[in-house]
Structure 1
Amino acid sequence: MVRWLVLLLMLLPHTGGTLPPIEEPKWKEIEHGLASWYGTRYIGRLTASGTTYTGRGFTVAHRTRPFGSLVRLSLGSGKFVVAVVTDRGPYCEYVGSYFYSCKQRRIVDVSERVAEELGFK
């Protein structure tokens, strides 16, 4: 048994031992719309996925994407950020007496860090 194990270990380096090339993920769906970023009032709160929002992670809230999904966000300038879905939203909210109809317009809420990286915070 030991002899076979030694032979196997000697042959391993000669089996090509290279990993397959890492492929760029193929993004399945493209959505176009507005994004907003979470304010600092959400720091420390639990997200819908059960993680704590810090504002510094590469995270987003999306209405339908499964938690843990990766999304690629771009403003069309060529610069992009890849983030993970950890929360649900964006949701509509009242600002004073004005109802902000975000359902038709905003498709994602991003963390403060993502907004900074994309340059809209």
Structure 2
Amino acid sequence: MKTKNQYPHKRLTLGVGIFMLALAGCTSIPAESPQNLVGTTESGKASYYAMKYQFRTTASGERYNHFSSTAAHRTLPFGTKVRVTNIANNKSVVVKINDRGPFIDGRVIDLSRSAFSEIADLDLGIIEVTTEVVH
């Protein structure tokens, strides 16, 4: 008959395995440098921030200002410069990513009010765009 402690090495192996998995979960993949992303493009819809977000803190820690050329993107690193081009009129604006979002399917970027107004009428609300990382 085998006793409970007859195979202590199995407990040790299991404990080390759990420890290694926990340790691996604490590591992170280094963020992609904006320089490595230059030329990356994306197409989809762009919207702009509502007035109620004026001066609220963004995900990067900066305060949102609707007079600045800034934007929210789901994954691009903060500080990345992106050229956003309105497909309908070919007007473009360069914005700095300082927030996360948009979190609505089909939308690829949320622009500040002033950035959106440079490429489209605010009354449109949502436009089709292409984005290109420029820096």
TM-score (norm 1): 0.67
Bigger helix fraction: 2
Show structure 1 runs of 5+ residues with no match: 1-25, 92-101
What CA distance in whole angstroms lies between the structure 2 residues aligned with 1:85 and 1:111? 10
Instruction: Look up the match of 2:26.
Output: none
One-letter code of the match for 1:79? K
Partner residue in 2 for 1:120: 121
Name the structure 2 match of 1:109.
110
Which structure's relative contact order is higher, taking Cα pairs within 8 Å and 6+ residues apart? Answer: 2
Residue among 37, 40, 43 paired with 2:54: 43
Give distance in 1, aligned partners of 2:43 and 2:94.
16
Letter of the structure 1 residue corresponding to residue 111 of structure 2: V
The within-5 A match list for 1:66-105 is 66-76=77-87, 77-91=89-103, 102-103=104-105, 105=106
Greater C-alpha Rg: 2
Percent of counterpart pairs with the same letter? Answer: 39
What stretches of structure 1 move > 6 A for 4+ residues in a row? none
3-state SS of paired residue (1:32): strand
Mark the runs of 5 or more structure 2 residues left unpaired by the alignment. 1-36, 123-135
| Aligned-pair Cα RMSD in Å | 1.4
